[in-house]
Homo-oligomer: A and B are copies of this chain.
Amino acid sequence: MSELRKDPIVGRWVIISVERGKRPTDFVSPSQRKKGGFCPFCPGHEHTAPPEIMAFRPSGSPKDSPGWTLRVVPNKFPALQIHGELSKTGEGIFDKMNGIGAHEVVIETQDHNLALSTMPLKAVEDALWAYYMRLNDLKKDQRFKYVLIFKNEGEDAGASLEHTHTQLIALPIVPKLVKEEIDAAEKYFDFKDRCIFCDVINQELEDGRRVIYENKGYLALAPFAPRAPFETWILPKKHESAFYPPDKDFSLLADILQRILRQIDRILDVPPYNFIVHTSPFYDEANDYYHWHIEIMPKLTKIAGFEWGSGFYINPTPPEEAAKFMREAKI
């Protein structure tokens, strides 16, 4: 089983695979992903993945058989293990716990060649529904405090398979950056009695230079201090603390998410990217101070190494220009 370990100085938790650890030689000649090789996510190969957790498929069609439009399966090589009791221990100055958690994969389309940007809009809506349903289900497990929902699209963004998919990792802790963001928002609320994200939204809508797109429910913007070129945030315009649309309707979110991903594909020639859903932890889902949102980060530069070590970013593209290019993209 893996372990969750906490850095004693800055309090950052990491998952360490203590059992099947990678040896130096595993890194020396990283195998290149073969284009067109065997794909475990394609229809007909359902049994090469662990049994499905849920799927959108014609009623009556058996589990783990073709015919689905979306499937959720456990990660075959999970970072954390679902079975067992959470056990927290110390080791002198160090803190750790066993690697209890869930690691799931949402396969949003059976078509190997589609992506969120190119699939039918209805499929994007279904994908958002699936994230939501899995989040709601994992929430019932008292061991978990947070679920990270993220997509690595393209090899350079960390995807190990070509077939598009999104991952959910349920955690017994709240990740450091998420916690920091939430704590900072809470502090702002204590001081101002307003949500800082709502304030940002209002100012950005009035200013306009960093606005990329908006529809009735959501706003997409280039943040004022982006870490990377073309970093884009999608936020609900009305205050919502967690990833649960008030009217259980994902159509407007699907619209803005697909549109942004299409703009990114268009102006940056289908770059690798990551997105992460930032939402409130399970133990404080309904609150006045935190505002859930999606952060999308095209992977364009190779400078991340030094930057994620220092927390200091050098971004060669002003967000005002990035937003303008995005707005003007012909999609």
Query: A-side interface residues toward B, CB under 8 Å?
Result: 5-18, 21-24, 26-28, 79, 91-94, 148, 150, 152, 155-158, 169, 171, 175-178, 180-181, 184-185, 188, 196-197, 199-200, 203, 207, 223-227, 229-230, 267-269, 271-274, 276, 295, 297-319, 321, 325
Contact = CB atoms under 8 A, between A and B. Distances in A.
20 contacts: A7-B225, A9-B197, A10-B180, A12-B227, A14-B312, A14-B315, A15-B313, A16-B225, A21-B316, A23-B321, A24-B325, A79-B314, A91-B224, A94-B224, A94-B225, A148-B312, A152-B303, A158-B303, A274-B305, A308-B308
Copies of this subunit = 2
Contact of A229 (B27, B92, B267): B27
**Majority secondary structure, A binding face:** mixed
B302 A158 contact: yes
B274 A225 contact: no
B200 A317 contact: no
Given A14-B315, A27-B300, 18 more contacts: A9-B200, A10-B181, A12-B225, A14-B314, A15-B312, A15-B313, A16-B225, A18-B318, A21-B321, A158-B302, A158-B305, A175-B310, A178-B312, A180-B311, A272-B305, A274-B309, A276-B310, A307-B308
